Amino acid sequence: MTKSVKLEEKTLDLLQDINLDVNAGDTLAIVGSSGSGKTTLLSILAGLDLPTTGEVYLKKHSLHQCNEEQRSEIRANHVGFIFQQFLLVNSLTALENVMLPAELANMDNAEQLAKDLLTQVDLGDRLDHYPSQLSGGEQQRVGIARAFISKPDILFADEPTGNLDSKTGRNVADLLFDLNKQFGTTLVLVTHDLKLAARCQRQVIMDSGCLVEGKVEEIVEDAAEDIAEDIQKEQVESPAENLAQSKAASEG
Amino acid sequence: MAIWVKQSLRLLQHELRRGELTIICLAIVLAVATVFSLSGFSSQIKQSLINNSTSFIAADRVLQSSRPVEQSILQYSDENSLNRAEQIQMSSMVFAGDNMQISEIKVISNTYPLRGELLVRKHIGEAPVVEHAPARGTVWVEPSLLKTLNLSLGDKVEVGVSTFVIAGIATQIPDASFSLFTSGPNVIVNIDDIAATELIQPGSRLTYKYLFSGEINDIEAFEKWIKPQVNESQRWYDIKSRQSPLANALNRAEKYLSLASMLGIVLAAVAVAVASRRYSQRHQPTVAVFKAMGASLKHIRKLYLLHWSLLCLFSIGLGLVLGFILLQVGLFGVSDSLPVGDAKFSFYPFIIAVVTGLICAIAFAVTPIKLLIETSPLAVIRGFSAQPTVTSDSAAGNSLVKKGKSKLKNFGWQQLLPFSALFALLIMFSGDAKLSIALLLGGLIVALILLGLGRLFMNAGRSMGSRAGKAWHLAMANLRRRASENSVQLVSFTIAIKLLLLILVMKNSLIDDWQQQLPDNTANRFLVNITQQQVTSVGEFIDQNNIQASEFYPVVRGRLSSINDEKLIKQVTKEENKASDNGRRGVGRELNLTWRQTLPDKNIITQGQWWSENDTETLSVNKTESLGQVSVEQTLAKRLEIKLGDVLIFQIGSDQVEVPVTSIRKVDWQSLQPNFYMIFNTKVLADFPATYISSLYVKPEKTLDLQLFLNQYPTISMIDVDAMIGQLRSVIDQVSVAIEFILVLVVLAGSLVLVAQVQASMEEREREIAILRTLGAKGSLLRASVLYEFFALGAIAGTMASAAMELAVFVLQTQVFNMEASLHPLYWLLGIFVGAGFVGSIGYISCWRLLNMSSVTLIRRTM
């Protein structure tokens, strides 16, 4: 599969000779630097965009032959999304945001399912809050609940922790992987955060529009070491931080 | 309930409650409220002005005829529940003993007058009372008749073969004709007495007037029915179809009110256009998320059509309420000077406001909403631009460049619908194609020029800004960066300021024009029939009493008998009908001929030349062959096909005068001064016995002195036009007050459009201010830059608006209001300063809250 765009006289190749299979239940990370084409790949895999040449299949649906409307229907029935910018609808409450995909998929008990999911992501008491009344981490938890409500066959997550600090990012990632395991959803994750990528069963690397095989384990190994280091550091720093906080509280 | 209905209602409910739709809602509310109050106000004012002025013709409509009309017409009017009165006018000699006086016999039915009041003094020393028709066997007369015939109340006069008792003195006759050369004072006779007088004989020169009044709809229905039946010897008219200063004032006022309301509609349309664009941009992310989650195009279409429709209905409802309140405030505001209570409540403003709201909401929103619905789900990944990302199945990413080109191509088509809708609205509203085209086409050309000029200005501003300190630099960089959005904003600022200037200039220009027409010292008395011997003593009285007076115009009566040896009998007879058709006396009877050295005031030579002093010296008077010259009034010249150089022969008594036409003049018939069709050069007519006329402005405290003075000269007739001028002035004052109020309404609407436009751009600025604050920009720098940016936008808009206004005023003055064109340099200054000041301060105030927020709050709001 390829993807190119014409810019005036020139043709820009965004994706070149991509071959990728994702099995049901897999968790796959697409890593790569900015501009490497990973988001373009994700948008084609999710049926948001079409390849210039080649074929894309989602379950039995040949996405490359579907029009926008058919792809919409496929997305409603099979696909979930998590976005870096959260992309909650600002004028809907947390509960209504989560209900949205279930309603679009004509599920009967959308409201109850949404409430259960929000409780599960620890936002049971924030059902009526609007996105602007929630922190970034909370908004992304709403995003995660929204992604799982329609029990999608496949979930696409575009830099799900990209807009969060590392600690919140880790919590959100934990939640994502926990729910993914619970629902048995296929997960395709786009990130340049190798630590996050390391938590997936499979990793592929995008480099200048090509999928590069072979180096993945190596990079991820390095990343795994970094994670171990971080965890160690955190264990050392945390008592000091706790101490500082309690001191400030007693002084205040 | 279907999911799309549920979601649509949910979105609308939350967005309204959270104030996210306030600006959009406000724009539509404003549009509807403005149109409602403007149209309601102008229709009520028009109605009440006409109600107040109909007294000048004593009816709503008059059918004038030289013969009695068919009974079926009168029957039809009765069936249509109209009120009806009849009047017959003729000239006849009235006798009292040995004295006689040519008089205007006014025969009226008992229902006369249908509008206005006939005031009759029944006893000397008592106040006049409102009356309809004299009792049978009695007449009411005008004061001058009593004087010339040396009569008093209770005396008898002979009219035709009947004798009548003078039972009252008519002090105010609503439809009294204003003519210096009427055949005499009015004698009012009951219609049931006329047969006995035997004045109506075959061949009598009579004017029958059938007066009608009633509900506006009934009158209009009757008018529609009767108009096609009016024949050549008949004339159907209302107050506005008369050639009078009043009709002129009313017509102009009506046009102005239409213009103001049309401008209101244009402002409303601009507001809705701004709002719908904002609406589209605001909902793009939601549509993209919905689509990414699998919502179909059909689902989104239904959801947003319902959402927009409900929003419009809600806003239109709110606009009607606000408009109603504004209208009541306005009517209350003018109630002191204009009794509007008589005007009937009408559904017209409701209908026009709702239709305007709906048409604007549909026509102006189609393109933005279409773009909104077509927002690509890919936008969730690629981000949102000012122009919605359009879906393209073939290659969404490939369409970037194509879009740019097709955007330009589509622009024309996309604008066609709103422009046609606006045109339809204007036509529907004003019924004046010329005014609508002038307004719209002018607006379109101006908008296009503005778009180009605006860019130029902003570029120039940037290069100036780079040398003018940090805040200016930032402001100009911002202007340049947002050039495309700013151009649109600039156009709407400019249009709003232009319309405000336009309405202000036209208001002042109209009111000035009227005031010039009726200055404080407008002549209020005319002295007619002054003999050569009396001229000196009348002149002395005028001088001694410091009375302002025109000079004495000599008058000789004569008949135009031939043009270039061609006898005029046929032509004159033919023209007689036409002359009586437009109600102006002259040809067909004897003309009032005058002579003078200088061109009178308010007379303009359109062809040929006015004579110089030398011409006169060389002239001799010869009763068959004259070397004199004559200047002819242009409408008469046109009617009789008189050209420069034609030789006219006048029959004066038993003599003939032959003169070549050396000039053709335009005469302002509405000026209250003696006006003439034929003016000769000095001495041509000097040998003929002449009487003189003069117009005076007599202060109230001098009127008694004048009366006493004139008592010595019973042959001099005095025509008192004080009442008429008073009435005219009050109508003009009322119109002026109404126009001032309309101006306030339009200014209010225009200002609110500006506020809405500034508000709409605020969200775009929010993120930018957040970033600059985060990067450490000082509050003072940001405040100054925002102030300068809006200030510059306002000044540019003000400059362009002034230029556009000047153009529009020129077209309006010359093409629509028939006025002299004029330049308005002071208003340019006003436009620029008010534009800069207003837009600057509104922008600054709107940004104030943002500028004073902490960086953290700003970031939380925008991210």
| Nearest Cβ partner for B293 among A14, A76, A132 | A76
CB contact under 8 A, A79 and B297: no
Q: Does A93 touch chain B (CB under 8 A)?
A: yes
Distance from the B287 Cα atom to the nearest Cα atom in chain A, whole angstroms: 9
Q: In sequence order, which residues have a C-beta less than 8 Å from that of residue B819 and are 6 or more positions away?
A: B509, B510, B513, B813
The C-alpha of A225 sits at a distance from chain B's nearest C-alpha, in angstroms, of 32
For residues B269 and B419, what is the distance between their CA atoms, to the nearest angstrom? 10
ipTM of the shown complex? 0.83
The answer to which of A78-82, A141-145, A193-197, B264-268 has the lowest mean pLDDT is B264-268
pLDDT at B713: 80
B507 neighbors B256 (Cβ within 8 angstroms): yes
With an 8 Å Cβ cutoff, are B397 and A49 in contact? yes
Instruction: Write out chain A residues lying below 8 Å of B15, CB-based.
Output: 91
Q: Which residues in chain B are closer than 8 Å to A105, comparing Cβ atoms?
A: 294
B294/A74 touch (CB, cutoff 8 Å), yes or no: yes
Q: Token pair of A174, please? A: 């934990």
Q: What one-letter code names the amino acid at B19?
A: G
With CB atoms and an 8 Å threshold, state whether A93 touches B14. Answer: yes
Q: Which residue type occupies A55? A: E
Which of A42, A90, A104 is nearest residue B294 as measured by Cβ atoms?
A: A104
Do residue A48 and residue B299 have CB atoms under 8 angstroms apart?
Answer: no
Domain of residue A47, CATH code: 3.40.50.300
- φ/ψ of A57, rounded to 5, equals -120, 135
pLDDT at B245: 64
Tokens found for residue B31 = 């549009």
Question: Do the chains contact at A79 and B286, CB–CB below 8 Å?
Answer: no
At position A243, the amino acid (one-letter code) is: L
* Beta strands in B15-155, from DSSP E residues, in sequence order: 61-65, 83-96, 99-108, 118-121, 129-131, 138-141
Residue B481: the pLDDT is 65
Q: Considering only CA atoms, which of A154, A167, A159 is closest in space to residue A237? A: A167
**Parts of chain B with a pLDDT under 50:** 386-405, 407-408, 570-586, 617-626, 863
At B655-695, the pLDDT tens digits run: 888 889 999 998 877 677 788 889 988 767 878 888 888 88
- In this prediction, residue B664 carries a pLDDT of 92
Q: Which residues pair with B168 in a beta bridge?
A: B140
- Which residue of A72, A111, A148, A190 to mutate against B (max B Cβ within 10 Å)? A72
pLDDT of residue B631: 92
Domain count, chain A: 1
Helix (H, G, I), strand (E, B) or coil at B270: helix
**CB pair distance less than 8 Å for A48 and B380:** yes
Q: Are strands B525-531 and B717-720 parallel, antiparallel or unpaired?
A: antiparallel
Touching check for B766 and chain A: CB below 8 Å? no
Class of residue A102 by CB neighbours under 10 A (exposed 0-12, middle 13-18, buried 19+): buried
Cβ of A91 within 8 Å of Cβ of B861? The answer is: no
* Whole-angstrom distance, CA of residue B665 vs CA of residue B677: 9
Which of A49, A72, A83 is opposite residue B396, by nearest beta carbon? A49
8 Å CB contact between B156 and B166: yes
Q: How many residues does chain A have?
A: 252
Provide the shortest C-alpha distance from residue B22 to chain A (in Å): 13
* Distance in Å, alpha carbon of B295 to nearest chain A alpha carbon: 6
Closest residue of A to B13, CA-based?
A: A91
pLDDT digits (tens, 9 = 90+) for A183-220: 899 999 998 888 888 888 888 888 888 887 655 566 65
Those residues whose C-beta lies under 8 Å from the C-beta of residue B343, and which sit 6 or more positions away, are: B43, B44, B45, B47, B48, B51
Residue B242 contacts residue B583 (beta carbons within 8 Å): yes
Tell me how far the alpha carbon of residue B49 is from its chain's centroid.
12
**How far, CA to CA in Å, does B772 sit from each of A1, A20, B766, B777, B841?**
42, 43, 10, 5, 21
Q: What is the DSSP letter of A127?
A: T
Determine, for residues B6 and A103 on separate chains, whether the beta-carbon distance falls below 8 Å: yes
Confidence (pLDDT) at B589: 63
Q: How far apart are the C-alpha atoms of B359 and B70, rounded to whole Å?
A: 47
* Residue A96 with chain B: CB contacts under 8 Å: 10, 14
Residues B795 and B836: beta-carbon distance below 8 Å: yes
**CB-based contact (8 Å) between B284 and chain A?**
no
CB contact under 8 A, A72 and B377: yes
Buried b (16+ CB within 10 A) or exposed e, B586-614: bbbebbbbbbbeeebeebeeebbebbeee
Listed in order, strand segments (DSSP E) in B361-442 are none
- CA-to-CA separations, B742 to A188, B80, B344, in angstroms, rounded: 64, 35, 19
The reported pLDDT for the residue numbered A247 is 40
Distance from CA of A232 to the nearest CA of B (A): 32
pLDDT of residue A51: 92
Interchain CB contact of B801 with A (< 8 Å): no
**DSSP 8-state secondary structure symbol assigned to residue B182:** -
Q: Choose the mutation target among A40, A42, A89 for the interface with B, i.e. most B CBs under 10 Å.
A: A89
| Residue B619 DSSP one-character state | -
Distance CA B863, CA A117 (A): 25
- Tell me if chain B has a CB within 8 Å of the CB of A3: yes
Closest CB from A49, A73, A92 relative to B296: A73
* DSSP sequence for B629-646: -EEEEHHHHHHTT--TT-
Q: Do A5 and B3 touch (CB under 8 A)?
A: no
Q: Give the structural domain span for A245.
A: 3-251
Instruction: Tell me how many degrees the CA angle A76-A81-A84 measures, rounded to the nearest 5.
Output: 155
CB of A42 less than 8 A from some CB of B: yes
Judged by a CB distance cut-off of 8 A, whether residue A92 touches chain B is yes
Query: Does the beta carbon of A180 lie under 8 angstroms from any beta carbon of chain B?
Result: no
By the CB < 8 Å criterion, does B297 face chain A?
Answer: yes
Kindly determine whether residue A92 and residue B295, on different chains, have CB atoms separated by under 8 Å. Answer: no
Lowest mean pLDDT among A103-112, A149-158, B53-62, B531-540: B53-62
Rg (CA), chain A: 20
- What values do phi and psi take at B94, rounded to 5? -110, 135
Q: Within an 8 Å CB–CB cutoff, is residue A77 touching chain B?
A: yes
Q: Before B202, cis peptide (omega within 30)?
A: no
User: Any chain B CB within 8 A of the CB of A183?
Assistant: no
CB contact under 8 A, B381 and A158: yes
